[in-house]
Amino acid sequence: MSNYTEQELQLLTDKVTTLFNSNDNWKGIGVQHKEKNGQLTGDLAITLTVDKKLPAGELDSNDLFPESITIPGITDPVQTDVQVGETEFTAEPICYTLPTPGSDESGWVMPVSGSRQTHRPIMGGIGCSIMPPNGYSGGYVDTGTLGGLCIDLDDNTVVGVSNNHVLGGYQLRGDMMPTSAYENANGLTYWSLLSANDTTESTGETRYPVYQRSSYDEYTSTKSSLDDLKIGTVKRAYPFTSSNNKLDVAVFALDTTVSNLFSKTESWKQYLLARQDEDMVDAVQGLSALGFATTAEIDSLMTTQSGAPCFKSGRTYGPLGWPGSEPYGSSVCSLSAYTVTYAGNVSYSGNLDSLGFIEQIRIRGTTDASAGGDSGSFWCALFNEGNPSLSAWKIIGLHFAGGGDVGMANRIDNVTSMFNLSAYRGEDLDIGYKNTDIKIIDTRQSAVTARIGGKMYWQAGSTNSSATGRFDT
């Protein structure tokens, strides 16, 4: 097996990004184990994924993938590989035509049915949604997954975490970042990412509400019914760009008026992940042990931790992976990370076109790893499986896309550094909003964000401008 240092792995990551951006016909590139006749050779290689392999004579010379790549800072040339597989992943639709009430729920069984039910206190791996896509009492409902709870380091409060396309999906359209006002696929105009009171059919809401269970699982889009499911409001989201995206993430503030919503002994858990008990309490810090994996730990999933078991709890497929997947069984649902520095395209149906992502994790196994409504789930990995004294489950990524037996996730170290979050491990912290700092600008602004005094401010009000859409660079 090729052993690269942390610095060399970063050089490999940078090279993957450069190669992906250099040729539109190279749809997916990552560093993963080289395969020959379906078997792993034990060597890491920069790998191009293609729909099917073609003879060199049928390819334009510019599209030929090099047989090896020399990277300054790495002594030997890096091996390459070409493999057949998915070349574009999908961030699955979360918007559905309103079904006949109760028509599907009767067929749900555990553990999937549990992921779709109401949970108080809340925890990771259960269904959630925001305001119905064409307004209250409309013909559509939606669902996604509450990945888990984290600490928002901006104000040191506990927040819920999911994807931008789950918590802010209706407001984004085309392949451009909207600026002042924008229209969704159902013809509704939205005026701010965080403010709902100027949005058609949002009477009674000043911020985008978050519900658990989801409107799809409750089979209703009426506000009176959803009010009982409200658990918070959208707080902030990381904006998309046309290329080189690393994150699809948003957070919501928990509602302080909902009883039994949050528990420091339960809310840090992942639904139906085994070994979440008193044995997992950190003996030094006294905190629950389901923390965020470090950059080095995530990178080790390609080398020293290769093949480590992975687990995801989502609204649609329920718990997947080992352990914790009963009644399916670990042999049926074995999943592990096989690429942790992947660059490829992701198709956003509805309001976004295909967007380029870099530095992503890919997980695959013997079962489908992703379905519509699982977006927002946390991926966890079991490190040091063979050494009980060191063994620990840690969160490695935020699931947002997939195809077949492959799931794709934002690296949690990028989520930490770029979105200013840390793992919630049972600390005694506040929920809700605090230290709200609103900057009033005396002229109309079209930008979603503004940097003032070295801090990033997010638009929290509305504008009377006509709808438009462009990248705020």
Looking at the structure, do residues 146 and 209 belong to the same domain, yes or no? Answer: yes
Other beta carbons less than 10 A from residue 197's beta carbon: 14
| Beta strand 157-162 pairing with 354-365 | unpaired
Residue numbers in the chain where pLDDT is lower than 70: 1-2, 38, 92-95, 100-103, 169-195, 197-201, 274-289, 322-334, 349-352, 366-367, 435-473
Tell which of 34, 68, 85 closes a domain.
Answer: 85
Looking at the structure, do residues 49 and 115 belong to the same domain, yes or no? Answer: no
Residue 74's pLDDT is: 94
Residue 4 in contact with residue 46, Cβ under 8 Å? no
Looking at the structure, do residues 92 and 121 belong to the same domain, yes or no? Answer: yes
Residue 41's pLDDT is: 74
Greatest Cα pair distance in the chain: 67
Residue 149 in contact with residue 160, Cβ under 8 Å? yes
Looking at the structure, do residues 182 and 81 belong to the same domain, yes or no? Answer: no
Q: Which H, E and C letters describe the chain, residue by residue?
A: CCCCCHHHHHHHHHHHHHHHHHCCCCCEEEEEEEEECCEEEEEEEEEEEECCCCCHHHCCHHHCCCCEECCCCCCCCEEEEEEECCCEEEECCCEEECCCCCCCHHHCCCCHHHHCCCCCCCCECEEEEECCCCCCCCCEEECEEECEEEEECCCCEEEEEECHHHHCHHHCECCECCCCCEECCCCCEECCCCCCCCCCCCCCCCCCEEECCCHHHHCCCCHHHHHHHEEEEEEEECCCCCCCECCCCEEEEECCCCCCCCCCCCCCCECCCCCCCHHHECCCCCCECCCECCHHHHHHCCCCCCCCEEEEEECCCEEEECCCCCCCCCCCCCEEEEEEEEEEEEEECCCCCEEEEEEEEEEEECCCCCCCCCCCCEEEEEECCCCCCCCEEEEEEEEEEEECCEEEEEEHHHHHHHHCEEECCCCCCEECCCCCCCCCCCCCCCCCEEEECCEEEECCCCCCCCCCCCCCC
**Prediction pTM value:** 0.86
Residue 413's pLDDT is: 97
Looking at the structure, do residues 415 and 272 belong to the same domain, yes or no? Answer: yes
Tell which of 60, 85, 110 closes a domain.
Answer: 85
In a domain, 1, yes or no: no
Residue 2's pLDDT is: 62
Looking at the structure, do residues 347 and 454 belong to the same domain, yes or no? Answer: yes
Closest by CA position to 169, among listed 93, 115, 227: 93
Tell which of 58, 85, 112 closes a domain.
Answer: 85
Other beta carbons less than 10 A from residue 449's beta carbon: 16
Looking at the structure, do residues 151 and 43 belong to the same domain, yes or no? Answer: no
Q: Is the peptide bond between 173 and the residue preceding it cis, with omega within 30 degrees of 0?
A: no
Both structure tokens of 310:
């992975």
Looking at the structure, do residues 102 and 244 belong to the same domain, yes or no? Answer: yes
Other beta carbons less than 10 A from residue 367's beta carbon: 16
Looking at the structure, do residues 64 and 160 belong to the same domain, yes or no? Answer: no
Q: Return d(Cα 152, Cα 422) in angstroms, integer.
A: 7
Q: Give the C-alpha distances (Å, rounded to integers) separating 106 from 110, 215, 218, 269, 333.
A: 12, 17, 13, 27, 24
In a domain, 330, yes or no: yes
Burial class for 137, CB neighbours closer than 10 Å (0-12, 13-18, 19+): middle
Residue 263's pLDDT is: 95
Looking at the structure, do residues 156 and 299 belong to the same domain, yes or no? Answer: yes
Q: Give the C-alpha distances (Å, rounded to integers) separating 330 from 270, 308, 324.
A: 17, 13, 8
Which residue type is seen at 231?
A: I
Q: Return d(Cα 454, Cα 35) in angstroms, integer.
A: 47
Closest by CA position to 144, among listed 448, 350, 308: 350
Residue 221 φ then ψ, to 5°: -120, 10
Looking at the structure, do residues 340 and 428 belong to the same domain, yes or no? Answer: yes
The total domain count for the chain is 2
In a domain, 362, yes or no: yes
Looking at the structure, do residues 59 and 207 belong to the same domain, yes or no? Answer: no
Residue 349's pLDDT is: 63
Which residue type is seen at 312?
A: K
What's the CA angle centered on 468, arms 463 and 469, to 5 degrees?
115
Q: Which domain holds residue 11?
A: 6-85
